[in-house]
Structures are given as structure tokens and as C-alpha cells.
Amino acid sequence: MSKTLVLVLGGAADREERSVKASIAQDEQAGGGPGRQKWPIWLSGPALSEDAVERCVHAGCDARYLLIDYEAVDTLSNFTTLVDLMREHSFKKVHLATSSLHMPRAVAIAEIILPAYGLRLGKKIKVEPSRGEPDEPAITRYRDVVRAWLWLWFGFDFAAPLLWLVHPDRMRHRDRRVKTLTYRGECCYGD
């Protein structure tokens, strides 16, 4: 079983697909080889469409190595909704895949959350931003760093009540998303 996984941070369908393709290319360079994917890919985000599995498979991912998490509503929850599951399945290293504009904030959060769960941050797999994807201001990264520390210390995201105002489109179906994980196969959880 691989002790490494790739966490693709969702946000836009084209970014997700490009991130999956880039992750598979990195996997092949690391010794997986064509058609022999060794790193599971976990895709996390609120904007994931019903055809997320099909899009990932179309991008080259083996569906047996794919886990889809619909629970996350923002970058912090991309991590907080999955770290227990990562630890439960004995992963040791997490590669991040997202756009180059989103990567600094994702890394800042990962460097706080992952070590607290015995996980190491691996490769940073950057893809070109989606068309029209705005630059992320530094204040957003600093805000999420504070939120990450508060989440670790208190086990609660104090900004969660505000997410209804900031991301009403993502929160509308949150009850439906809670722990909705789609996993097809057993490769990355095998003996």
C-alpha cells in the first residue's frame, strides 16, 4: 500500500482535471509508470460535479485509486474533513495539487494541519490557474493560518458560522455533503 496520496483541492472543474493529469504525470515520474498509478488521488471540494469521478478517469486516474470528498467548503476544510481518514489509513505523506495562485494558501494551511496528524507535506503540484481565477490576497492566507491554528487548538472552525454569508452556494447543500465519500475500489487501502 502506498503511504503517499495526492490531495487535489477542488474549485473549478478544469483546474481539478488539470491537477489530476499533473498528479498522474508526477506519479509516473516517481516510478509508477504508465498505467501503473501508485498514488491514490483524493479530490476535495464543494464545487465537485456529479461527474467528478468520470472526469478524473477521463484525465487518466484509475478509479480504484480515487476518493471524492464533497464535504469541504473552503481551503481549510479541504484538510480538516480528511485528516482523520488519512491517518486512519496510515498515510504518511500528502502531495498537494492545485493552481499556482491557490498553492501558497494551501501550503500554509497544510504546514499547520498535516504535522499535527503525523503527516508530511510532499510535492507541490502546481497547475496553471483557471481562466479568470483571481489572485489571492495575502490577507486571505493569513486569515486561514489563524483559522487553522484555532481549529487545531479548539477543534472548531470559528469562521464556520460566517461561511453561510461568504459561500452561500457551497453551504446550501452542506447537509447532503457531510461525509459523502465516493471511493471505487480497494487499491490504496489494500493490505
Give the torsion sign (CA, 64, 175, 145, 156).
negative
Q: Please tell me which residue, 24 or 188, carries the higher pLDDT value.
A: 24
Highest mean pLDDT: which range of 17-21, 42-46, 109-113, 129-133: 109-113
Q: Which of 51-55, 83-87, 132-136 bottoms out in mean pLDDT, i.e. has the lowest?
A: 51-55
Q: Please tell me which residue, 188 or 76, carries the higher pLDDT value.
A: 76
Residue ranges per structural domain of the chain: 4-186
Q: Mind listing the pLDDT tens digit for each residue in 12-57? A: 777 777 888 888 888 878 776 666 678 888 888 766 666 777 777 7
pLDDT band at residue 107 using 50, 70 and 90 as cut-offs: very high
Q: Cα–Cα distance between 45 and 55 in angstroms, integer?
A: 14
Look at residues 100, 17, 23, 3 and name the one whose alpha carbon lies nearest to residue 51: 17
pLDDT of residue 180: 39
Whole-model pTM? 0.81
CATH 3.40.50 holds for 4-186? yes
pLDDT > 90 in the chain, percent: 29
Question: How many CB atoms are closer than 10 A to CB 74?
Answer: 23
Contacts 24+ apart (CB under 8 A), 139-146: 140/105, 141/104, 141/105, 141/108, 144/74, 144/75, 144/76, 144/105, 144/108, 144/109, 145/108, 145/109, 145/112
pLDDT of residue 177: 42
Q: Is residue 179 over pLDDT 60?
A: no
C-alpha cell at 104: 501558497
143 class by beta-carbon count within 10 Å (0-12 exposed, 13-18 middle, 19+ buried): middle
Q: Please tell me which residue, 170 or 140, carries the higher pLDDT value.
A: 140
Q: Cα–Cα distance between 2 and 25 in angstroms, integer?
A: 17
pLDDT band at residue 111 using 50, 70 and 90 as cut-offs: very high
Task: Give the mean pLDDT of 138-150.
Answer: 93
> Which amino acid, 159?
A
pLDDT of residue 131: 79
